[in-house]
């Protein structure tokens, strides 16, 4: 009996350690979109990285030829919900940037439908961010950003642009959609970088 109690408490403590300040655990998957869900067909889908050095573009088929990674991560929305152990499949931003000459230090993520969000390149490199197209073993639901979304799990989830279309590399940090509307330029949930 005491063993079960100890085990249960241990799991609880483990979960609490993974919750950034001010966050609450959810078990469903809320949908948060600033506008309607754009219809993006994989036949038309392109992913583009623009830098001062030039433009690199991948079609859906070319994208599917890239090395794929499976990631299990916790996600944290600025509206106070967190979801632990979410499983995604996609291509690391490192894999995409390996093909690009970049002297810039910042990126603006652009989405089909017009959404933008800014992320320092340092927060996209070294296994910290992906362009994902599967969630829990299924093609990514359009509501959650399918066919493909950015995943930057160590920052608040508004940085994980749904219906991602590409990255513009920039020398200076510029605010994206929510950042222009008061959300923090960086958005680290452990530092509660919610608004500015
Ligand atoms: N293109 C686009 N991406 C977006 C958003 C959006 O409105 N449009 N909302 C952001 C916000 S505020 C959050 S919390 C997450 C929500 O993702 P979900 O709907 O899959 O939970 O997507 C982010 N990415
Ligand atoms: Mo959000």
CATH number assigned to the domain comprising residue 51: 3.90.420.10
Is 66 part of any domain?
yes
Show the low-confidence residues of the chain (pLDDT under 70): 1-13
Distance of CA 32 to CAs 160, 162, 187, Å?
11, 10, 17
pLDDT of residue 12: 62
Ligand 1 within 6 A of CB of 31: yes
CA distance 126 to 88: 17
Is 14 part of any domain?
no
From the CA of 143, give the closest atom in ligand 1: 19
Instruction: Give the chain's domain count.
Output: 1
CA distance 61 to 126: 25
* 147 Cα–ligand 1 center, Å: 14
Is 79 part of any domain?
no
Sign of the four-CA dihedral 34, 94, 91, 83: negative
Q: Which ligand approaches the C-alpha of residue 161 most closely?
A: 1
pLDDT of residue 3: 41
* 166 Cα–ligand 1 center, Å: 16
- Using alpha carbons only, give the angle 99, 100, 103 rounded to the nearest 5 degrees: 150
Owning domain of residue 154 = 43-70+86-191
Element (H, E) at 55: strand 54-59
Evaluate whether 78 touches 187 at the Cβ level (below 8 Å). yes
Evaluate whether 120 touches 94 at the Cβ level (below 8 Å). no
pLDDT of residue 1: 33
Ligand 1 within 6 A of CB of 77: yes
Ligand 1 within 6 A of CB of 135: no
pTM for the model: 0.95
Q: Which residues lie below 8 Å from residue 89, measured CB to CB, with a gap of 6+?
A: 68, 69, 70, 71, 132, 133, 134, 137
Q: Which residues lie below 8 Å from residue 92, measured CB to CB, with a gap of 6+?
A: 67, 69, 127, 129, 130
* 33 Cα–ligand 2 center, Å: 8
Evaluate whether 164 touches 148 at the Cβ level (below 8 Å). yes
Can you tell me which residue has the tokens 């070319």?
62
pLDDT of residue 14: 80
Max Cα-Cα span within the chain = 65
* 162 Cα–ligand 1 center, Å: 6
Is 145 part of any domain?
yes
Ligand 1 within 6 A of CB of 177: no
pLDDT of residue 86: 98
Q: What is the pLDDT of residues 94-126, one digit of tens each?
A: 999 998 989 999 999 999 999 999 999 999 999
């Amino acid at each position: 009996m005491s063993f079960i109690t100890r085990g249960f408490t241990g799991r609880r403590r483990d979960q609490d350690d993974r919750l950034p300040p001010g966050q609450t655990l959810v078990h469903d998957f809320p949908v948060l979109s600033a506008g309607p869900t754009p219809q993006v067909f994989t036949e038309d889908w392109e992913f583009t990285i623009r830098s001062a050095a030039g433009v690199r573009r991948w079609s859906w088929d070319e994208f599917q030829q890239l090395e794929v990674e499976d990631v299990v991560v916790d996600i944290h929305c600025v509206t106070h919900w967190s979801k632990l152990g979410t499983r995604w499949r996609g291509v690391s931003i490192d894999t995409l940037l390996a093909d690009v000459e970049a002297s810039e230090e910042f990126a603006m993520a652009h989405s089909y439908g017009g959404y933008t969000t800014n992320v320092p390149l340092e927060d996209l490199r070294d296994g910290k961010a992906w362009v994902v197209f599967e969630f829990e073993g299924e093609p990514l639901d359009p509501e959650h950003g399918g066919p493909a979304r950015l995943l930057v799990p160590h920052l608040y989830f508004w940085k994980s642009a749904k219906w991602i279309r590409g990255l513009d590399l920039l020398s200076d940090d510029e605010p994206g959609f929510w950042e222009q509307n008061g959300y923090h330029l960086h958005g680290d949930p452990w530092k509660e970088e919610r608004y500015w």
